[in-house]
Structure 1
Amino acid sequence: METGTRKKNQLIVFGSAEIARLARFYFENDSSYRVSAFVVDDAYVDADSLDGLPLLGFSQALERFPPQEYEMHVAISYRGFNRLRSEKYYQAKEVGYRLASYICTKSALWPDLDVGDNCFILENQTIQPTVHIGNNVVIWSGNHIGHGSIIGDHTYIASHVVICGHCNIGKRCFFGVNSTIRDFCSIGDDCFISMDASVTANLPPESVAIGHGAEILKPDDRRGRALVKRFFGQV
């Protein structure tokens, strides 16, 4: 029993950039896993170690940290519109690795939450009942996912995104900070929802929704001076 528990908790992280380092931090401080090594493609091994752990090529990791004894987490961001993370996810699965998900304990979650493998879900989420989150999904900190919504595989959700109830989100989508999706919307595969975008209708695959940036008023603009006077009593 002791040996089985030890093996179950062994993890290697695919990646060597900042998100891989963060994955190690979260797994080791808020899960039962202990990270044993970082892994990259063979051609990208440029050092023997990273943050005190071995840095190995994929083929070498198969020998030293085999799938029969170790799990893997693919820690890659939205690079290549999520396709690189998707590619490495399938590469790891094909050789037999079980892909571990991380779900931060510092969130509001319900027992019926359905989450796939290799997900990375950070703190301060509000995820309502009957939500399904697919495989290889990244959900950064502080989001709201409404009841009955479905998040497709390989999607990346940045911080402070609001996805209202009963939305159906496709695969490989990207949601920028502060974007908002109205309830009952269907978002096709490979959609890019930019920062501050407000989506109120269905989007076909490969759509781009652009948010409008703030209007900047110069210091001598009378509208800006009037607003400052109204709210703060000064000009």
Structure 2
Amino acid sequence: MSAPEKRHDLVLVGDSAFAEVAHEYFTAFSPYRVVAFAVERAFLRRDSLCGLPVVPLEELPARYPPASHHAHVAVVYTQLNRLRARLVRQVAAAGYPLASFISPAAFVAPSARIGRHCFIFENNVVQSFTEIGENVVLWSGNHIGHHSRVGDNVFVSSHVVVSGFCEIGAHTFLGVNVAIGNNLRVAADNWIGQGVVISRDTEEGQMFRPPEQEAAKVGARRFFRVRDEPPA
């Protein structure tokens, strides 16, 4: 599949692994042409990434004016998504139109509503009458059930299942393989670790750690009777 025609110049805020991924996805699957990265001056550690300049965020309006550039903040869930939210407010206040990315390999129902400045990866299913707030990241392979609402500044990892009629509170993080039962409310500022099953409403600010798996007393090679191959 050929890349869409490029109609807008785009600056990515951030220079982490997510920024590299965002660069590839925007380049391959969107009408945006990435022209630069920007990082706050105190955290500027390099001058280029992906063959493009990395500039101080404080100099962004002078070097890449908002009248001719869009912006997307490619930052993960640092400080329960507060860092990404703060940077989004900063670039929006400077006048930049905020870009979203929705993968062409995602399914978004016609009745679903998506807020501004979201990044939705491939193989997400966003079902009917779902509401996705602003500044939400849905990494690959999630299921957001019908009539559910995901609040602002949320980060959903991969292969998360949010059942129908659920509410996910603002700033919450959902780890890989989390499962949320039907008709449940996950409150704001929750951190839910990988593989956790939520079967009742949660309270604001709660943390749910993943169950730790202990190694069996018998090692894998012994259990499967693996013998070292003789030298060649």
TM-score normalised by structure 2 residue count = 0.89
Residue deviations 1:73-97 (CA, integer Å, cap 9, x gap): 0000111221111111111111111
| Map of 1:45 onto structure 2 | 44
Any idea what SS the aligned residue of 1:62 has? helix
Count matched residues. Answer: 219
Amino acid aligned to 1:9: H
CA separation of 1:43 and 1:212: change in aligned 2, threshold 3 A = closer
Q: Secondary structure of the equivalent of 1:38?
A: strand
SS in 2 for 1:202: coil
CA RMSD of aligned residues (A): 2.0
Matching residue of 1:195: 194
Query: Counterpart of 1:172?
Result: 171
User: Which residue pairs with 2:54 in the alignment?
Assistant: 55
1:28 maps to amino acid: T
Amino acid at match of 2:105: K
Identify the residue that residue 114 of structure 1 maps to in structure 2: 113
Larger helix share, 1 or 2: 1
- In 2, Cα distance between the equivalents of 1:101 and 1:132? 15
Q: Cα 1:220–1:49, aligned 2, differ >3 Å: closer, same or farther?
A: closer
Gaps of 5+ in 1: 229-235
**CA offset digits 1:176-207 (Å, max 9, x no partner):** 11111011111111001111111011111101
Alignment of 1:102-181 (within 5 A): 102-181=101-180
Contact (CA 8 Å) 2:138, 2:157: kept in 1 or not?
A: yes
Using the aligned pairs only, state the percent identity: 36
Q: Which stretches of structure 1, 4 residues or more, deviate above 6 A after TM superposition?
A: none
Distance 1:206 1:183 in 2: 21
Q: In 2, distance between residues paired with 1:211 and 1:218?
A: 21
Unaligned runs of 5+ in 2: 225-232
Query: Residues of 2 paired with 1:165 and 1:209: CA distance?
Result: 21
TM value normalised by structure 1: 0.88
Work out the CA distance in 2 between the residues paired with 1:60 and 1:173.
31
Q: How big is the shift at 1:220?
A: 7.5
Q: Output the amino acid matched with 1:201.
A: R
Aligned equivalent of 1:231: none
